[in-house]
Amino acid sequence: MKLTFNIQGGDFTHAGKPSSEVKKVLKQLNVDGKTVKNIVIALYEAEVNVVAHAWKGTVSAEIDENKITIFVEDDGPGIPDIELAMQAGYSTASKQVRDMGFGAGMGLPNMKKNTDELLIESIVGKGTKVKMVNYFK
């Protein structure tokens, strides 16, 4: 099964809709609750990153029998130093993003914590591609 969604940069009103839809589908498929929580928190963090930093993006979730593979790709400024961005507390978020309760530099480390596999590729000035894999328990 494949689910795809579009994300608009700066649109905090709709941020979380893809995560919400993915959560509903995984629950219907009787995926274990803890695993669902890990998956949707990682996806939600990724969505917030796109809304906070990029111009637009897409979410594509492929659900197999034993795993979910999620691709979050954006057209945006990119991440110049991924290693630095992975450090807890490092943030380049704007005041507007911080006022929304995010931008504390916890997103990427939290995505790592909540996924079995995380791959981030980024080109400065072009965009970022994130691949996340979670295996069903």
Partner 1 sequence: MKLRDIATVLNAKVTCGVDKLDEEIGMGYSSDLMSDVLTLDTDNLILITGLVNLQCIRTAEMADIRAIVFVRNKKASDPMLELACENGMCILESPFSLFKSSGLLFQAGLKPIY
Per CB under 8 A, the segment of 1-9, 12-20, 64-72, 123-131 that binds partner 1 is 12-20
| Ranges within 21-80 binding partner 1 (CB under 8 A) | 23, 33, 37, 40-41, 44-45, 48
Q: Is 100 in the site for partner 1 (CB under 8 A)?
A: yes
> Tokens 């945006």 — which residue?
76
At its nearest, how many Å lie between partner 1 and the CB of residue 111?
10
φ/ψ of residue 8, rounded to 5: -105, 130
At its nearest, how many Å lie between partner 1 and the CB of residue 113?
7
Query: Which of 130, 133, 134 has the alpha carbon at shortest distance from 49?
Result: 130
Q: For partner 1, which is the closer residue by CB, 37 or 126?
A: 37
Element (H, E) at 38: helix 33-53
- Three-state secondary structure call for residue 56: strand
Query: Which of 116, 108, 129, 18 has the alpha carbon at shortest distance from 66?
Result: 116
Name the site residues for partner 1 (rule: CB under 8 A): 12-13, 15-16, 19-20, 23, 33, 37, 40-41, 44-45, 48, 100-107, 110, 113
